[in-house]
Amino acid sequence: MILLYNITILISGIIMALSLIPIRRLITHLPNAKLRYKWDILGALILLFITGYIVFLFSYWTDFNHDPDIVVPILFFFASIFLYQITSLSLQTTIDAKRISKLEHENIMDDLIGIHNFKYSNKRLIEEVERAKRYGHNLSIMLVDIDHFHVVNDTYGQQTGDEVLRQVGKLISKMIRDTDVVARFESKEILVITPHTPIAAILRLAERLGEAVTKLKMIPADEKNNENSFEVSISGGVAGIDENIASAKELVEKADNSLFEAKDTGRNKIVCHQLNEN
């Protein structure tokens, strides 16, 4: 009985100590400092629990004037198993959630520019058009195209062209609201979806964006200084939902026609499908 008692106590202590390992690994996977702090607290509580366990062991092993009560070590044993299972399951759940989040992110993002991809933008635009038609909300979109992009690629190389796309995409992302969507629409076109936004508002945004892009200093990929920096400009087509537009496809066609007009009439400008607010 005493041997079983001692073995049970020893195994319980080892399992309790092992439960700290999943917690430390879990904390490294948490992006939020507040969450890490809470798990640090749990780790401290486990250490406190282990300390109490050690005190119990010391009390037991220094006093042999009592009959061992097997119920106590059994309770400790199952408590340690439960603790280890909880921490291990929490770690695995966190790793799985992180993996799923990464896969979802990769599924909707364009790795080159760092904005949403065409698949996501198409799905989101269909949803927003349906919502706008159903509830009578404003919805406006903008198609942006980098002027003479093929010249940039031919002159400075594709790597520089990719960086131009990234810089323009990054700039647009900074200028829009959290509720808006910016996505790569085609090889060098970027789509901006602005729910609850009248056509006049997105037109102002497009004009500010055009001005901001011309102020960017682009540096060729094979150079480290800005002595040979160059500038780029954009053309944009803007369109908004109205009673004559029945689908996302039609809305994109209106914006694309406006973009074509902007490029056909000199580039570095924004053309609007309609100026009246809905």
Residue 119, beta-bridge partner list = none
CATH no. for 111-272: 3.30.70.270
Domain ranges of the chain: 2-109, 111-272
Q: CA–CA distance from 160 to each of 9, 45, 157, 209, 232 (Å)? A: 66, 54, 6, 21, 12
Ranges of the chain with pLDDT below 70:
1-6, 57, 60-72, 101-106, 225-226, 274-278
Whole-angstrom Cα distance, residue 87 to residue 174?
Answer: 40
User: Would you state the pLDDT for residue 181?
Assistant: 94
38-69 pLDDT, tens digit each: 778 877 887 787 777 777 767 766 665 555 56
- How far is Cα 215 from Cα 233, in angstroms, rounded to an integer? 9
pTM of the model: 0.67
Q: What pLDDT is attached to residue 5?
A: 64
Inter-residue contact 113 to 144 (CB < 8 Å): no
Burial (CB < 10 A; 0-12, 13-18, 19+), residue 156, is buried
pLDDT for the residue numbered 72: 67
